[in-house]
Amino acid sequence: LLTLDGQAMTNLRKEFGEIPDLERLLFRLCSFKSLHESSQHPQNRAVLFNENYFNKRKVDDLISLIGGFEKSFSVYLCLRNHQLKSSLLDQLLNFEEDLSNSSFTTLDEIIGFFSTFKGSFDVKNAKKEAVIIPHKGFIAEYDASLEKIERIELKLEEYL
């Protein structure tokens, strides 16, 4: 890393500083899932008086997690573009052979997944409304449900 020029090092520090605590965010999001699987957990019996607050926190955490992974990919690509003399860094940056047990075969597929997912909903609206609403065409079942609701509402209007 010492071989990087001043501007590259400044950019790298800035990128690292903008990455949230991904481990904490992943743990928090995974714990939401495990809490809801247990029917005995008090959260499943609780009456939430401010449900919007709790949903907003979950949505904000998910969006922060996605942004953190995007920043991590940016740092990774920045380091890959420089000819580093450290064999340890070179070994860490050439991990793509270890993806054989993953559902993704290349880092580009992983980056593509995150950008597709982030593009599947309006981030500003999700933060504001504390609800993630997918754009049309991303989830076929959701689109079919919306069309079915629309048909039912039209039938209701005709009936009334």
pLDDT at 147: 95
134, β-bridge pairs: 121
**Burial 70-88, CB ≥16 within 10 A → b, else e:** bbbbbbbeebeeeebeeee
Residue pLDDT tens, the chain, 160 long: 556 677 877 888 888 888 999 999 989 888 876 655 556 656 555 555 566 777 888 889 999 999 999 888 888 887 877 777 777 877 777 766 566 666 766 778 888 888 888 889 999 999 898 888 899 998 899 999 999 999 999 999 998 8
pLDDT at 143: 93
